[in-house]
Amino acid sequence: MTRWVGRLIALNVLVLLLEMGSPSVELWLAYRPFAVVQAPWTLFTYMFVHAGFMHLFFNMFALWVFGPRVEMRLGSARFLGLYFGSGLTGAVLHSLISPMAPIIGASGAVFGVMYGFAHYWPREPIYLWGILRLEAWTLVIALTAIELYSGIKSTDNVAHFAHLGGFIGAVVYLKIIDSTSAAARWRAKVTPAIPAAPLLDVERWKRADLSALHPVNREEYERVLAKLQAVGPTGLNRGEVEFLERFSRLAM
């Protein structure tokens, strides 16, 4: 159990106990799209309100299963950004679809955490009910299909589009995180720039002294040159162009 996963679970349990003692707690904390101007704090507080023990249990169980590794991977601050950002986009999407329907529950935020897990460990096996084996990425796709179908066809009181909004928020948030991370900046710094197609120095690639390269690199260089000969420079992918750019300069 990581620090903020534990704190979020404890806070959700505390709010449920307060609800049991005073029904007015839900009235103050639930999100009502039509009243958001009067109660803007509910965009976040609704995530801590649940319609009974089972609603709380399933959300907190999922957070306990998926949250710790995601928090360790992102760090506490970015994990909280993922959690609350996903819950916020869940509320926004729900508002667009059902502006008159109030919502409660941490499902949108938890769905965002589930996506975060699948984003970083897509092949990790997940056993539903301890029996059905799914890889994490398959679980996300299955849940997306179920929630989309249920949101369109179902007449229950579940905020299915808030769940989907949690996925959407997590996708956007993690794309931003990945593109601005230290690793991404380092890759951008060390990756050679690829010239525009008319400026590709194909002749330099062909003139490279392959004897100066390590045998492994020389073998790969010869493979890419053969492909270049067969399909032309526009048939090479980005990695192959980068490879020729880098190693042709080393072998000059």
Domain closes at, from 184, 203, 220: 184
Cα(first)–Cα(last) distance of the chain, in Å?
55
Based on the fold, state whether residues 47 and 92 are members of the same structural domain: yes
When pLDDT is cut at 50, 70 and 90, the band that residue 252 belongs to is low
Given a cut of 70, is residue 51 above it in pLDDT?
Answer: yes
Beta-carbon-side half-sphere exposure of residue 75 (alpha carbons within 13 Å): 5
Higher pLDDT, 171 or 205: 171
What average pLDDT does the segment 84-94 reach?
A: 97
pLDDT > 90 in the chain, percent:
65
User: Active-site residue among 50, 94, 163, 248?
Assistant: 163
29-62 core/surface letters (b: 16 or more CB in 10 A; e: else): bbbbbeebeebeebbebbbbbbeeeebbeebbeb
Q: Structurally, how many domains does the chain consist of?
A: 2
Using DSSP's 3-state secondary structure scheme, residue 215 falls into helix
Least confident of 15-29, 189-203, 227-241: 189-203
Distance from C-alpha of 158 to C-alpha of 26, rounded to nearest angstrom: 16
Based on the fold, state whether residues 180 and 195 are members of the same structural domain: no
pLDDT for residue 76: 95
CATH number, residue 58: 1.20.1540.10
Given a cut of 90, is residue 46 above it in pLDDT?
Answer: yes
Higher pLDDT, 252 or 225: 225
Given a cut of 80, is residue 191 above it in pLDDT?
Answer: no
Query: Left, alpha or beta for 17 (phi > 0: left; psi -120 to 50: alpha)?
Result: alpha
Active-site annotation holds for 107 = yes
What average pLDDT does the segment 221-225 reach?
A: 87
What average pLDDT does the segment 138-165 reach?
A: 93
pLDDT for residue 62: 96
Based on the fold, state whether residues 14 and 115 are members of the same structural domain: yes
Domain closes at, from 135, 159, 184: 184
What average pLDDT does the segment 237-242 reach?
A: 84
Based on the fold, state whether residues 139 and 159 are members of the same structural domain: yes
When pLDDT is cut at 50, 70 and 90, the band that residue 246 belongs to is confident
Provide the mean pLDDT of the chain: 89
Distance from C-alpha of 61 to C-alpha of 126, rounded to nearest angstrom: 14
Active-site annotation holds for 179 = no
The amino acid that residue 45 corresponds to is T
pLDDT in tens, 96-121: 999 999 999 999 999 999 999 999 99
Domain containing 161: what range?
3-184
pLDDT in tens, 153-172: 888 889 999 999 999 999 99
Q: 252 near 201, Cβ under 8 Å?
A: no
Judge if pTM exceeds 0.85.
no
Query: Left, alpha or beta for 38 (phi > 0: left; psi -120 to 50: alpha)?
Result: alpha
pLDDT for residue 198: 43
pLDDT in tens, 192-201: 554 444 457 7
Least confident of 59-63, 77-81, 148-152, 178-182: 178-182
Based on the fold, state whether residues 53 and 14 are members of the same structural domain: yes
User: Active-site residue among 86, 107, 119, 248?
Assistant: 107
Sign of CA dihedral 72, 73, 76, 79: negative
Given a cut of 90, is residue 45 above it in pLDDT?
Answer: yes
